[in-house]
Amino acid sequence: MPIKRDFGLRLDRQSPAERERLIAYINLKLASMGLPIYSREGTAFVELASDMLENFREKDLLLSDYLPPADRRIQDFLDSYLGDLGMQAKPRLPSNTLVLDRYGMGRELSLPPDRHTYSSPSLTSYRVRNGVLHNPASDRRTTEGVFHVAEDGLPVPPDKKAVPRLAFARILAAAFNPPNELLELPFTAGEERRARTFLSLLLRPTVRPGVHGWCEERAMELRFFAPAPSRPVSISWSPSSGTPATPTSPRTTPPSIRCAGPGRRAA
């Protein structure tokens, strides 16, 4: 397991060389998606691999509607769960996102590399010694009365608000279609052309270790989607064994989906 890359263990976060490599890596990922890059640093590999990146982008266009297995399972559930509501456009997971697949990417993307602060309509971010401090423009210190739970599932706790499936579908559709200004990456805020994209992350924490001759290992899929400077839409799928489960599998229950915006939460 690439522990240094994924978890940052034994990684010197204060090292200028490590930071340069991370900025170059982010630029490569942005260029591979056809998005503007940070032009003041970390561009050598982008220029060197320009022809290869162009080829990669053309191949990626052919897969524009493709969803990876984890997303496909969630999308199949949404299509089934919301299929009888008569919506013209059903909520669809983003298929082309900037994947946070390396330790430190989220922190580096939160601010322009040459600045220590960044402000957006939803929050203000500050660079501090141990990372980045985010100060939301509107934040509530309690969850009472702000969680909305869709009906037609498990019983809704009394401290939550029950809403019809149609309300859930509309909230989710709005979360996946934010205005362009919410998609702007702070990383390229100082550029003439700014990158706009969703960020995404997939985690598979183990919820039950496997015991030989007794039980299989079970894991939970946690899928996060976020417009660049905003709070994420998080989707958690039920525990599954090492073999990916399908939404119709008897060992799989519907996912928990939370849509969060500035000062608002929904589940």
* Whole-number pLDDT of residue 208: 92
Q: Fill in the amino acid letter for 197.
A: T
Contact 231, 261 (CB under 8 A): yes
Task: Quick: pLDDT tens for 39-69.
Answer: 888 788 888 888 888 887 888 888 778 898 9
The residue ranges of every structural domain in the chain are: 3-266
Which 3-state string (H, E, C) describes the chain?
A: CCHHHHHCCCCCCCCHHHHHHHHHHHHHHHHHCCCCCCCCCCCHHHHHCHHHHHHHHHHHHHCCCCCCHHHHHHHHHHHHHCCCCCCCCCCCCCCCCEECCCCCHHHHHCCCCCCCEEECCCEEEEEECCEEEEEECCCCCCCCCCCEEECCCCCCCCCCEEECHHHHHHHHHHHCCCCHHHHECHHHCCCCCCCECEEEEEECCEEECCECCCECCEECCEEEEEECCCCCEEEECCCEECCCCCCCCCCCCCCEEEEEECCEEEC
Give the pLDDT confidence of 222-249 residue by residue, as tens digits.
Answer: 899 988 655 556 665 554 444 333 333 3
Q: What is the pTM of this model?
A: 0.79
| Residue segments in the chain with a per-residue pLDDT below the cut of 50 | 1, 239-253, 261-267
How many angstroms separate the CA atoms of 234 and 267, rounded? 9
Give the chain's end-to-end CA distance (angstroms, integer): 33
The 10s digit of each residue's pLDDT in 192-212 is: 999 999 999 998 889 999 999
Q: List the one residue out of 235, 99, 120, 136 whose CA is nearest residue 182.
A: 120
